[in-house]
Amino acid sequence: MKNIYKKLFVLIFLIAGFSTFNVQAQRPIHEIHSMLIFNFIKYIEWPEEVTSGEFTIAVYGDEDVFNQLNEFYGKRSVKGQKSNIVKIEDPASIPSAHVIYIASNKSRDFEDILSKFDAKPTLIITDRAGLGEKGSSINFKVVDGKLKFEINQATFDNSNLKISSQLVNMGIAI
């Protein structure tokens, strides 16, 4: 029965169009970011060479997002792999990761992180205006008081990640 509720939630979430959330909504922004990060993963395919071992999600600069991802998803498998959610304190210490979330307060380190993971199959998600154009795979953006997300298709191509057309249609293509 619990599984039915999860599927129903995901269906409602998609029907409502998870590309927009009212920033003034009752849910804290870290919960929304965590839900979106986890749902983005469902619509992305990684190359076969990184589909074994642990699925690593690195969070840099937002302890609430890290804790939320751990609470909701830390013990689940992701894409058939055991999840490994890590909190990053220093950008030089970011391990090989499937996903890296860079909070807005750490965006000054974006270019260093991008250069380390350029052309690697890593989904980089950011939360600062302008980082989508600079090479982030997905960037959160507030438009008219609603949280949306930008998708940089060139970055997906460069990273050898395949994004579902459904996700592309829900985001803002840049």
Q: What ranges do the domains of the chain cover? A: 2-173
Which is more confident, 15 or 29? 29
Average pLDDT of 150-158?
A: 97
Q: What is the pLDDT of residues 60-99, one digit of tens each?
A: 999 999 999 999 888 899 999 999 999 999 988 887 999 9
Spell out the CATH class of 2-173.
alpha beta
CA atoms within 13 A on the CB side of 53: 8
Q: Tens digits of per-residue pLDDT, 25-73? A: 578 999 999 999 999 999 999 999 999 999 999 999 999 999 999 998 8
CB neighbours of residue 41 within 10 Å: 19
Judged against a pLDDT cut of 90, whether residue 150 lies above it is answered with yes
Sequence-separated contacts (24+) of 4-13 with Cβ below 8 Å: 10/39, 13/39
Which SS3 state, helix, strand or coil, does residue 85 take?
strand
